[in-house]
Amino acid sequence: MKIFTAQQMKVVDRETANQQCISSFQLMERAGGALLSALSRRFVLSKQRFVIFCGKGNNGGDGLVLAQYLRQQQARVTVYLLESDSYSKDNIEAQKRNPASLIQKFLLDGKLDIPADAVILDCLFGCGLKGVLDVTWNAVVQVINSSGCRVIAVDIPSGLLSDSPTPKDAAVVYADEVLTFHSPKLALLMPDNQAFFASFEVLDINLSKDATDATDSPYLFVTKEDVKTFYKKRKKFDHKGVFGHALIIGGSHGKMGAVQLAAKAALRSGCGLLSTYVPECGYPIIQIAVPEAMVITDVQTDLISSLPAVMNYQAVGIGVGMGTDEKTKGAFREFLLASQHTSLVLDADALNILAEEPDLLSKTPRYSILTPHPKELKRIIGEWDNDWHKIEKAKLLAVEYELCILIKGANSVVILPNGMVYFNSTGNVGMATGGSGDVLTGILTALVGQGYTAADALIMGVYLHGRAADIAVQKFGTYSLLPSDIIVSLPQAFLELEKEA
Q: What is the pLDDT of residues 49-102, one digit of tens each?
A: 999 999 999 999 999 999 999 999 999 999 999 999 999 999 999 999 999 999
β-pairing, 119-123 with 103-106?
unpaired
Distance between CA atoms of 157 and 64, rounded to whole angstroms?
17
CATH second-level architecture of 6-217?
3-Layer(aba) Sandwich (3.40)
Out of 194-198, 341-345, 348-352, pick the least confident.
341-345
- Residue 396: partners with Cβ closer than 8 Å, 6 or more residues away: none
- For 250, the 3-state DSSP assignment is strand
Q: Is 408 annotated as a binding residue?
A: yes
β-pairing, 294-297 with 245-250?
unpaired
Q: Is 158 annotated as a binding residue?
A: yes
- For 104, the 3-state DSSP assignment is strand
pLDDT average, residue stretch 256-283: 98
- Residue 271: partners with Cβ closer than 8 Å, 6 or more residues away: 243, 244, 245, 246, 315, 445, 446, 449, 450
Asked whether the beta carbons of 370 and 404 are under 8 A apart, the reply is yes
Q: Is 282 annotated as a binding residue?
A: no
> What count of residues does the chain have?
501
Short-list 81, 68, 52, CA closest to 149: 52
Distance between CA atoms of 494 and 382, rounded to whole angstroms?
36
Q: Is 58 annotated as a binding residue?
A: yes
489 pLDDT band (50/70/90 cuts)? very high
110 pLDDT band (50/70/90 cuts)? confident
Q: Is 424 annotated as a binding residue?
A: no
Instruction: Give, in order, the Cα–Cα distances in Å from 404 to each of 158, 336, 345, 418.
Output: 35, 16, 9, 9
pLDDT value at position 501? 78
The H or E element that residue 146 is part of is none
The H or E element that residue 467 is part of is helix 454-480
Q: Is 214 annotated as a binding residue?
A: no
Q: Is residue 457's pLDDT more than 90?
A: yes
Q: Is 38 annotated as a binding residue?
A: no
pLDDT value at position 340? 86
The H or E element that residue 487 is part of is helix 483-500
pLDDT value at position 317? 98
Chain centroid, CA 327 distance in Å: 37
Measured N-to-C along each axis, helices 483-500 and 436-449 cross at an angle, to the nearest 10 degrees, of: 40
Burial class (CB in 10 A: 0-12, 13-18, 19+), 61: buried
pLDDT value at position 197? 97
Q: Is 258 annotated as a binding residue?
A: yes
Domain definitions of the chain by residue range: 6-217, 241-429+441-458
Q: Is residue 500's pLDDT more than 90?
A: no
Asked whether the beta carbons of 308 and 277 are under 8 A apart, the reply is yes
Share of the chain above pLDDT 70, in %: 100
Q: Is 442 annotated as a binding residue?
A: no
Q: Is 239 annotated as a binding residue?
A: no
Distance between CA atoms of 49 and 47, rounded to whole angstroms?
7
Q: Is residue 342's pLDDT more than 90?
A: no
Share of the chain above pLDDT 90, in %: 97
Distance between CA atoms of 459 and 455, rounded to whole angstroms?
6
pLDDT average, residue stretch 319-348: 95
Q: Is 127 annotated as a binding residue?
A: yes
Q: Is 59 annotated as a binding residue?
A: yes
pLDDT average, residue stretch 283-302: 98
Q: Is 252 annotated as a binding residue?
A: no
Q: What is the CATH number of domain 241-429+441-458?
A: 3.40.1190.20
Q: Is 411 annotated as a binding residue?
A: yes
- For 177, the 3-state DSSP assignment is strand
pLDDT value at position 466? 98
Task: Write the pLDDT tens digit of every residue in 120-156.
Answer: 999 999 999 999 999 999 999 999 999 999 999 999 9
Chain centroid, CA 103 distance in Å: 38
254: left (phi over 0), alpha (psi -120 to 50) or beta: left
pLDDT value at position 343? 82
Q: Average pLDDT over the chain, rounded to whole?
A: 97
Distance between CA atoms of 240 and 414, rounded to whole angstroms?
29
Q: Is 271 annotated as a binding residue?
A: no
Asked whether the beta carbons of 180 and 199 are under 8 A apart, the reply is no
pLDDT average, residue stretch 366-385: 96
Q: Is 126 annotated as a binding residue?
A: yes
Q: Is 355 annotated as a binding residue?
A: no
